[in-house]
Amino acid sequence: MRFKNNTALVTGGGTGIGAAVARRIRSEGGNVALLGRRPEPLHAIAEEIGAAVVAADAADSASMKAAVVTVVETFGGLDILVANAGGHGVGPTISMSDETWDLAIRLNLNTAFVSARETLPHLIESKGNIVVLASIAGLFAGPDAAGYVTMKHGCIGLAKSLARDYGRFGVRTNTVCPGWVTTAMADEQMEFIVEKFKLKNIEEAYALVTKDVPLGRPATAEDVANAVCFLASTEAAMINGAILTVDGGAGTVDLPTLAFAEH
């Protein structure tokens, strides 16, 4: 029971990777607070696993501050932040609108920064840790995704800064970079690829975008949750500032233009 007597706050906790992380932490004895803007999926996961729900915008300072107060009052403290909220920012630079660029900043980078800033006082007190969900798009540039790529690079920089500045206070910060992951968000992108390349189904689309990945398949949300929960546990007590890829070895080869990251 790696997370017994620990409390974790998971942003973007209602679907995909966030939900898988929440399930894993609860199954190993931890308290979990699910945070997001849409209450319906949050409540569905909370009912399934016995978690708390905090409907809030992780990119909004006042909203996040109030959410952290609620979590601490409910559970008596906070030990883990999983900064998982993210998405959007796809499109070529030459046609990307200011609105799309600003949304990419808000959903990917601001959510990580604001949630880290507002939880840090409590994580310092508990000598807890932060796991930032970035993407392999934070390590190299996929095609026509300037907003997403830039912000995921920024998430890695933020995590490195947090590791450098707050490790002295006992707070570890590490980054997980998934490749393609079979989530509802990625399924939507696969539908686009099905249409563009005249494929039969999304399974063929996943096979196409991962055909040059050494392990030959996309990750599952549970694969990513395993990495997140390792870094969040005491098993990783001396790991601070690390970047862990969950991509089947995608970063070891020159990938075709289809194989940009999902998270």
**Any idea which residues carry the catalytic annotation?**
148
Q: Are 159 and 175 in contact (CB under 8 A)?
A: yes
Q: How many CA atoms lie within 13 A of 63 on its CB side?
A: 14
- The residues, any chain, with a CB within 8 Å of residue 197's CB and separated by 6 or more, are 205, 208
Between strands 31-36 and 129-133, the pairing is unpaired
Of 24, 43, 35, residue with least CA distance to 71:
35
Alpha helices in 198-220 (DSSP H): 202-209
How many angstroms separate the CA atoms of 247 and 213, rounded?
Answer: 8
Q: Where are the beta strands (DSSP E) in the chain?
A: 7-11, 31-36, 52-55, 80-83, 129-133, 172-178, 243-246
- The residues, any chain, with a CB within 8 Å of residue 46's CB and separated by 6 or more, are 34, 52, 53
Q: Give the residue carrying structure tokens 């990251």.
A: 261
How many angstroms separate the CA atoms of 256 and 203, rounded?
Answer: 18
Query: Tell me, what amino acid is at 99?
Result: E
How many angstroms separate the CA atoms of 60 and 4, rounded?
Answer: 30
Of 132, 136, 128, residue with least CA distance to 161:
132
How many angstroms separate the CA atoms of 110 and 143, rounded?
Answer: 23
